[in-house]
Copies of this chain bind each other. A is one copy, B any other.
């Protein structure tokens, strides 16, 4: 269905250029030239009421005057004529549209209005549309040869598909790609994305054999949930590489919880890309270098790298980079070493890095590569060349590519520290490996290859569904909402967590001293006593928490003292009593919680809690809902995981139980989408059992949404009549 629809745009049999022009240096003229020069394989119908012929093609006053069927229409006309022109297109049966014209939502309120109208019109007519406000699109397939852009250069054919959200940048990128001789299969400038966006194109390219990798330049993600679903699936088949700009924008508003304040504007985008298996780049150079690597390398079987060099220094630098990236330096097998020793000079080093020394000739390069590439201990190779008297760079490159040809399954990356002339020459050749000037660039490439390997080997994971008491949680939240509180009390928060099967420490509420003692007796000493209030949120600041109460007598004493303190601090109002809580002993305080990104939605956090949370920021974020694999990776990826494993004689934590806590929280926030913030801080690791126990909890909801979601029949809107 989508394929059929988008084929009309990306593989049209005929194209109408509405607004084609005879006037030079206009978009309507430039695009006609591109279509002609790139030899579009279908029919071209320029539409212009004032011309008979444009760039050698017969022109028509309107699409309705064209005698044959038209698959695809490009609109290069003033915005005010767009809607009526679409009506004509509809009459003609055209289902594929690209609107180059600007003047829509990028221009302000009026434009937004017009774009909404446009989107509705497209939907009404059942049309799919690229743009408006875009550079156009390209398909380099031999049976299509469609260049419907007005970029300066004609495209180079290759296996990359590229979506750009910026038209201007897209043009620059096309220029550079041409210059770097990085070819692509298809290119789409999505512009304002009134209909087609990056996700549409990713889905279209998922099973397109012309497309071996997908590159994205994004300034926003249209539908994060859908993006995640698609990307997680497609990245298992081919690399998706994204440059997401705007990461420094102070987007997220100041939030009141820890989780919120740690979740900066870019955290959500970063989490989303990571858990979808998208390789993220932070600059165009990285994007292009990575594309070059994936264009010329298979995905390796492992992360063991061998370095072959004719100079020590670059070998050392490459080793540094590889070790820092966490890749492994391959253990060259004895057999390989023996073979190398048989033909390399005595001064050569046959340990990894393999230094053939400066006297290495072409024969040495060929035989060494041939020997090392066959070694089963080696997954990837970095081959370094420095110019020495008599040895020509291009000859070495050709020789190693000859060897590489016979070993298609192992990536070989060339580092040729030579003149730029070499790169110009090589970019016009048919190569089977990527060449870089510097070792660090090749090391980056090795890292990306390994990232993709790891992702492809990673289990997909499942979003589990636990048996929870949703009704109970709903009721508690409803009560808070009914009372106009967007922030649940500690007691309520812990009750909600328990309803979702999260291990919270045992507690009971008491409103009198006698009750307090009775609750404590049922829990067993030592206990903690905490004030529970509907108005005071940071309890410790007013002395509202007393720990390590060892006996009933001590508790009675402390109860009286607490009441005096609270009275003095003016905190008696709103006080709903004291919570008597099991005192969990443990020195390791973790934190987990939920923050909401205004654009991306709920995000899970996990990490080191306590006083360190904001100082050390040893926390990680992932978008909810989590899969079991997501949760497991979150726990293992924080530095403090070593504490959980039981550093320095502490009891190893129950990692699976903590993982389940995260997954249950994820289920909670999926069930109640209006939960804005949730903190479990600390999630204390019990020294006795290793469990992660929620010792404190805070839940905050978005009031209006909560009211709507919990909507009640009496019409007051607060859910009171449930």
Binding site for B on A (CB under 8 A): 25, 30, 107, 150, 152, 165-166, 168-169, 171-172, 175-176, 179, 217, 219, 243, 245-248, 282-286, 310-314, 316-317, 319-324, 347, 358, 386-390, 417-421, 424, 437-441, 540-541, 587, 608, 611-612, 614-618, 639-640, 642-643, 647-650
How far does the alpha carbon of A639 sit from the alpha carbon of B171 in the complex, in Å?
43
Cβ contact within 8 Å between B386 and A172:
yes
How far does the alpha carbon of A451 sit from the alpha carbon of B317 in the complex, in Å?
24
One complex includes copies of this chain to the number of 2
Cβ contact within 8 Å between B175 and A312:
no
Cβ contact within 8 Å between B438 and A285:
yes
Q: Report B-chain residues with C-beta under 8 Å of the C-beta of A617.
A: 639
Q: Report B-chain residues with C-beta under 8 Å of the C-beta of A25.
A: 389-390
How far does the alpha carbon of A612 sit from the alpha carbon of B650 in the complex, in Å?
13
User: Which of B316, B358, B440 interacts with A246 by CB under 8 Å?
Assistant: B316
Q: Select the residue from A107, A310, A323, A615 with max chain B CB neighbours within 10 A.
A: A615
With known contacts A168-B386, A642-B615, A175–B419 Cβ distance under 8 A: yes
Cβ contact within 8 Å between A643 and B172:
no
With known contacts A439-B283, A615-B647, A169–B313 Cβ distance under 8 A: yes
How far does the alpha carbon of A418 sit from the alpha carbon of B173 in the complex, in Å?
9
Q: Report B-chain residues with C-beta under 8 Å of the C-beta of A642.
A: 614-615
How far does the alpha carbon of A312 sit from the alpha carbon of B647 in the complex, in Å?
49
Q: Report B-chain residues with C-beta under 8 Å of the C-beta of A608.
A: 616
Cβ contact within 8 Å between A152 and B320:
no
Q: Report B-chain residues with C-beta under 8 Å of the C-beta of A640.
A: 612, 615-616
With known contacts A175-B387, A245-B317, A311–B168 Cβ distance under 8 A: yes
Cβ contact within 8 Å between B389 and A30:
yes
Cβ contact within 8 Å between B168 and A358:
yes
User: Given contacts A245-B313, A284-B417, could you give 7 more A-B pairs where the C-beta distance is less than 8 Å?
Assistant: A166-B313, A172-B417, A172-B418, A176-B418, A285-B438, A611-B650, A615-B639
Q: Report B-chain residues with C-beta under 8 Å of the C-beta of A219.
A: 313, 316
With known contacts A320-B247, A616-B640, A312–B387 Cβ distance under 8 A: no
How far does the alpha carbon of A323 sit from the alpha carbon of B243 in the complex, in Å?
17
How far does the alpha carbon of A640 sit from the alpha carbon of B617 in the complex, in Å?
10
Cβ contact within 8 Å between B441 and A285:
yes
Cβ contact within 8 Å between A314 and B169:
yes
User: Which of B166, B285, B321, B439 interacts with A437 by CB under 8 Å?
Assistant: B285
Cβ contact within 8 Å between A283 and B321:
yes
Cβ contact within 8 Å between A438 and B283:
yes
Q: Which residue of B lies closest to A329 (CB)?
A: B248
Q: Report B-chain residues with C-beta under 8 Å of the C-beta of A639.
A: 615-617
Q: Which residue of B lies closest to A436 (CB)?
A: B285
How far does the alpha carbon of A608 sit from the alpha carbon of B418 in the complex, in Å?
46
Q: Report B-chain residues with C-beta under 8 Å of the C-beta of A30.
A: 389
How far does the alpha carbon of A314 sit from the alpha carbon of B323 in the complex, in Å?
32
Q: Report B-chain residues with C-beta under 8 Å of the C-beta of A317.
A: 243, 245, 283-284
How far does the alpha carbon of A152 sit from the alpha carbon of B418 in the complex, in Å?
11
Q: Report B-chain residues with C-beta under 8 Å of the C-beta of A438.
A: 283-285
Q: Which residue of B lies closest to A102 (CB)?
A: B347
How far does the alpha carbon of A643 sit from the alpha carbon of B310 in the complex, in Å?
50
User: Which of B311, B321, B611 interacts with A169 by CB under 8 Å?
Assistant: B311
